[in-house]
Every structure is written in structure tokens, then in C-alpha cells.
Chain A
Amino acid sequence: MSDNQLTEFIERYLDGSMTAEERVQFELLRKNDAAVESKVTEHIKFIGLLKQYGERLELENRLNAIHNEIDVHALKEEVMIHPVWIVRMWRNHHSKISVAASIAIFGVLTILILTGKLNNDKSKYQQLSEKINNMEKTVAQIGHGRTPVKPKITRTPANFRGTGFALTSNGYLATDYHVIKNADSVYVQNAAGESFHAKVIYTEPQYDLAILQINDPSFKNLGPIPYNLKRAEGDLGESVYTLGYPADNMVYGGGYLASAANYSGDTTEYVISVPVNPGNSGGPLLDEKGNVIGVITARQTQVAGAYFAKKSTYLLKAIQNIPTDSLSKTLNLNTKNKLAGLSRTQQSSKLKNYVFMVKVYNQ
């Protein structure tokens, strides 16, 4: 029996056009011949699939016809969620934006590194003028039963405090620029607790130096200055000390000269190993013989025990740079050192009359 004939039989068998006799015969054949049986199943399945395929095509056509009646465009506008422009921009251009941002960050970092702005030493540099308000709070917290501030001065407390030291007996003082910066008025107080009004007559912000003049009527001549400003540079390891007002009373601090340039490579400053605190700013740095070799400026917050002092040569330059018409009195620097032969304690006791607390008031 050929394939065609068999197929014809199968179809006739399925659509019921066989005679009863043929049907019995065919069923017998199906039962006995596995090949025929599998042909029948395959045919049923295949034609079924073909019919389903046809139905699917028809259904798709029906759905397409329905779809064509819908105004998809109008509907789209209605259901579309419009993201805000920034989101759309990000979606469309996020790769470009990312690249641009990376380049910008890279550029900024490069510039910062090249210009040394990222240098750690500088960022940790802390100037030593002190916010008195903070200090007073601390004192109030830790003070044990201290009597309230004596009402002898009715003035409000100073906002900032630093140290200054006399350059001449007639009332010229040196201190740090950052101490008196933004000051509305400046008072200096001596070791005996007497306050005098002072004015800023000259500043050199680039070297953090300022020159004050006491212009208070109650001020009397200090007497000859016992120290002089050293013109030569100090030696490494040299023993140095300072006097200043980190607290209400004068504090002595001693140590050694550690380096002739600070960590940023700034050669206008010494690195010193002298314990100083906020309030020491503007104080004199003296060597063993009692020469002033520098002015305390700042401390390194990361390196323990490292502080900075502006070299005295820059103070001398600053004094020379004062315009003559700013000077109402002569500014003659002392050149004779009267401390050289004295012990450290004797030096300190002589010095203390020439070191002042600088009190700064601003709004």
C-alpha cells in the first residue's frame, strides 16, 4: 500500500466516509500493524496542528482588525508617564554625563595635586589665636568654685586672645596678623593685669605679622627693652622658649628648634618643639641668650609637638616697611641684649613685663 493510499484511508476513516466493512478492516490493520497505527496518530496530530495554525491566523487577523480601530496615538499620550526633564536627560545621556563628570573630577584632582593644595601639612595647619568664649566655657565647666569674674572691667569679654611683645619702651608691640585680624578694638594687658588700648599701625598678612602701638593715656614708658631681635637664623637643636597667654596668666614653654622650614617647605617659619596652645600666637620665641628669633604663629595638628614660629628677620623687614607717617613716636629697636648672662628663670622674670596679652574685640 502506497503512502498516498494509506493517507486516503486514514482521512476517510477519520471523516467517517468509510463503509462499515472497510472500517472494520482498517481497524484490524491498525491493531496489527504498528507502522499504520503510528501513521494514524501522526496524521491526527499533524492535521490538528495545521487546523490550529489556521485558527490562530484567523484570530490574529480579527485582533488586528480590532486594533486598527483604536486610536493608539491618543491613548499613548494619555498613559505615558512623562519623567521630569532631568531624568529624561539622564536616561538619554547618562554615559556622556558620566564621562564628563569623571574627566572633571580627574581634572580637579590633578590641579589640586599639582598646586599642592592637597598637601596634608597645610590642611592641618591651625592658627593659635584662641576663641576666648570657648575657653571660658571650658573653664566654667572645669573650674572648681571659682568666683565669678570680678566686675572691675565692665567691658564685654574679648572675643579673641593672643600674645604680643614690646619692640620699644614707648609702646610699639609685635604680634600675629591673625590675632588682630577683623578687630574692632584691641587692648593689651600686662602681667600686672593692667589693660591699655592699642591700635594696629601696620600689618603684613603674608607673613602673619602685625605691629601695634599702645595709645592709652594711662600707659607709662616700659623702660629699656632687655632683648633684641636676632638678624641671623637660629641653629637646629638650639634650646628655645616662649612666654605667652594661652591662659589668664603668663605661661612659659621651653623646647628646641626643630627645623628651619615648615612642612609645606615654607622657609619663613621655624618648626619648633615647644608646647604652645591657642593664645600663644604672637608670643616671642627666644634663644638661650635671650635674643628674639621668632614669633609663634601656628601649630601642626597632626604631628604631636610640632609648632611654628615666624623668623625674626621677617619681623625686622616688617618694621622697616612701616610707612613713616604711621609712626607717631620713634621706633628705635633695642640692639643691646641684657639677658645674655642670665639664667632662664632670671630671663623670664625680666621678660614678663614686656610680654602682653592681646585682647581683640569685634562685633
Chain B
Amino acid sequence: MNKDLKASAPTDSEIVLGILNNSEIVLKRLYTTYFPMILQLIINNNGDEDDAKDIYQEAIIVLYNKIKAGDFELNSKLKTYIYSVCRRLWLKRLSQMNRYGGDIRDFEEHLPVEEEIDNHNDRDVQFDKMESALQLLGEPCKTIMEDFYIKNRSMQEICERFGYTNADNAKTQKYKCLQRLKKLFFQQK
């Protein structure tokens, strides 16, 4: 399987275009092409396959967001970029777990990517806060929020799902939920 994937490794510009066009196939090819490289990096540096998955997905998300935001410039190879991000993320993880011996076994060349990872981490902190705020919100508010704001469902659909007889009632409920969600979100440190 691996060999076939290597043979069909997509070019960097193919990937950038594919992600901009939301191509599922390109995302899949991107993912499968570089995963072995990161698996190798992690498991030969005190990690296991689950760590590799976490780190790799985080790096793909960083890359994905960067491409989506339109500020990914192809002045380095995608491979090097992904490797560098993973390497940085893994070093950080290792030192958090106190498993970092001050030495990492490298398999590829790498670039400094600290800034991007800091931006990414800031966003992750916000997402974590959002996640826990949604958890604290409880049902049915959580689903209403997700349906309306994330899945872009109409108020009509939501009314039917939750059995609200009156669209106004549903609307009032939604605003109350949003108030609470904001309150929960901003209360967190």
C-alpha cells in the first residue's frame, strides 16, 4: 500500500489547490503521503503510534488553515514544512511530559516554525474554551447552538426537531442559550 502511495505522491501545488477547492481526495492523498515520515519521527523518538497520529493531525490542521487563510507560500517543500511542524510540536510535547532527553533523532531537514505553532496554539486554547463552554451549556442548548451556528440549519428545522410549537419561542430559547454560552465562555480563564 505504501509503495503505491509513494508512487502517486501529489505535487505541492496540487495539494494547495485541492485544499482550497475542498477536495476530499487531495486531503486524503496529502494525509497518506506524509504520515509514514511522521510516524517514523515519533516512534523513533520516544513516542507511539497514537502520539504520531495526534501530532500529525495537528500539523495537517496547521497546514490546512494556513492554505485556507491564503498565506501559504510555496517557498519550501510541503514535506519539509510538515516535518518541521511535527518536529516542533513533538519536542514541545516531550518536554511537557519530561521525556525529552535533549536529543532528537532527525530523519529530514527542518525549518524554524515556532511562530506558526504559537498562533496555532492560541487558537487551540480558544477552541478548548469553546468546547468546555458547550459542555457546560448542556442540552438542548448545545444542540441548538451547533445546529444553528455551526451546521447552519434554519430556525424552522430546529423548531421541528425540538418540537417548539412557536418559532418565537424557539428564537427566544436560542438567544437565551447564546447569552449563557457567551457567559460561560468568557468566564473561563
Given contacts A51-B150, A59-B61, A72-B52, 11 further A-B contacts (CB under 8 A): A4-B175, A50-B130, A50-B150, A54-B150, A56-B61, A63-B60, A63-B61, A66-B27, A76-B49, A78-B36, A81-B40
Map CB proximity to B onto A58-91 as digits: 1 under 8 Å, 0 otherwise. Answer: 0110111011011111111011110000000000
Cα of A80 to Cα of B131 in the assembled complex, Å: 36
A70 to B33, CA, bound (A): 11
| In the complex, chain A residues whose CB is within 8 Å of the CB of B185 | 46
Complex Cα distance, B177 from A7, in Å, reads: 12
Alpha-carbon distance A46/B184, docked complex (angstroms): 12
Report if A8-B61 is in contact (Cβ < 8 Å); known contacts: A75-B39, A78-B2.
no
Q: Which residues of B contact A (CB under 8 A)?
A: 1-2, 24, 27-28, 31-32, 35-36, 39-40, 43-44, 49, 52-53, 57, 60-61, 64, 105, 123, 126-127, 130-131, 145-146, 149-151, 171-172, 175-176, 178-179, 182, 185
Known A53-B127, A79-B36, A79-B39: A3·B179 in contact at CB below 8 Å: yes
Known: A75-B35, A81-B44. A4 touches B172 (CB 8 A): yes
- CB within 8 Å for A54 and B146 given contacts A67-B31, A78-B36: yes
- Measured between beta carbons, the chain B residues less than 8 angstroms from A24 are none
Does residue A236 face the partner (Cβ distance < 8 Å to B)?
A: no
Q: A304: CB under 8 A from chain B? A: no
A139 at interface (Cβ–Cβ under 8 A)?
no
A7-B175, A54-B151, A67-B31 known; A79 vs B127 contact (CB < 8 Å) = no
- Asked if A113 lies at the interface with its beta carbon under 8 angstroms from chain B, I say no
Cβ A7 vs Cβ B31 within 8 A: no
**A67 CA to B60 CA, complexed, in Å:** 12
Pick 28 A–B contacts, CB within 8 A, sort by A.
A4-B179, A8-B171, A46-B182, A46-B185, A47-B149, A51-B149, A52-B127, A54-B150, A54-B151, A59-B61, A59-B64, A62-B24, A62-B27, A63-B27, A63-B61, A67-B31, A70-B35, A72-B39, A72-B49, A72-B52, A75-B36, A78-B2, A78-B36, A79-B36, A79-B39, A79-B40, A80-B43, A81-B105
**Quick one: which of B28, B176, B178 has the most chain A CB within 10 A?**
B178
Residues of B within 8 A of A52 (CB): 123, 127
B interface footprint on A92-107 (CB within 8 Å = 1, 0 otherwise): 0000000000000000
For B130, list chain A residues within 8 Å (CB). Answer: 49-50, 53
Interface of B is mostly: helix
Chain A residues contacting B53 (CB-CB under 8 Å) are: 67, 72
Across the interface, do A8 and B175 meet the contact criterion of CB distance under 8 Å? yes
- Taking a contact as CB atoms under 8 Å apart, the answer to whether B1 and A71 are in contact is yes
- Chain A residues within an 8 Å CB radius of B172: 4
Residue of B nearest to A46 (CB): B182
A96 to chain B, nearest CB (A): 18
Q: Do residues B176 and A50 form an inter-chain contact, with CB atoms below 8 A?
A: no
A53 pairs with B131, CB closer than 8 A? yes
CA gap between A59 and B178 in the complex, in Å: 24
Chain B residues with CB under 8 A of A56: 61, 127
Which residues in A have their C-beta under 8 angstroms from that of B49? 72-73, 76
Cα A81 to Cα B182 in complex, Å, equals 49
Q: Would A63 and B178 be within 8 Å (CB), given that A8-B171, A49-B130, A51-B149 are in contact?
A: no
**A58's closest neighbor in chain B, by CB?**
B150
- Cβ B57 vs Cβ A67 within 8 A: yes
In the assembled complex, the CB of A134 is this many whole angstroms from the nearest CB of chain B, namely 51
**Which residues of B sit under 8 angstroms from A80, Cβ to Cβ?**
40, 43-44
Q: Which of A42, A53, A62, A64 has the most chain B CB atoms closer than 10 A to its own CB?
A: A53
Bound complex: CA A49 to CA B60 (Å):
20
B35 cross-chain contacts in A, Cβ below 8 A: 67, 70, 75
- Least Cβ–Cβ distance between B130 and chain A, in angstroms: 5
List the 8 closest pairs (A to B, CB-CB), nearest first: A54-B150, A79-B40, A4-B175, A53-B130, A66-B31, A63-B57, A72-B49, A50-B149
CA distance A74 to B185 in the complex (A): 43
CB B42 to nearest CB in A, in angstroms, measures 10
Given contacts A53-B131, A56-B127, contact A70 B149 (CB under 8 A): no
Establish whether residues B145 and A50, one from each chain, have CB atoms under 8 Å apart when the complex forms: yes
- Is A70 in contact with B171, judged by CB distance below 8 angstroms? no
Looking at the assembled complex, report how far the CB atom of A232 sits from the nearest CB atom of chain B, in whole angstroms: 72
In contact, B32 and A66 (Cβ under 8 angstroms): yes
Closest to A47 in B: B149
Least distance between A81 CB and chain B CB atoms (Å): 5
A54 touches B179 (CB 8 A): no
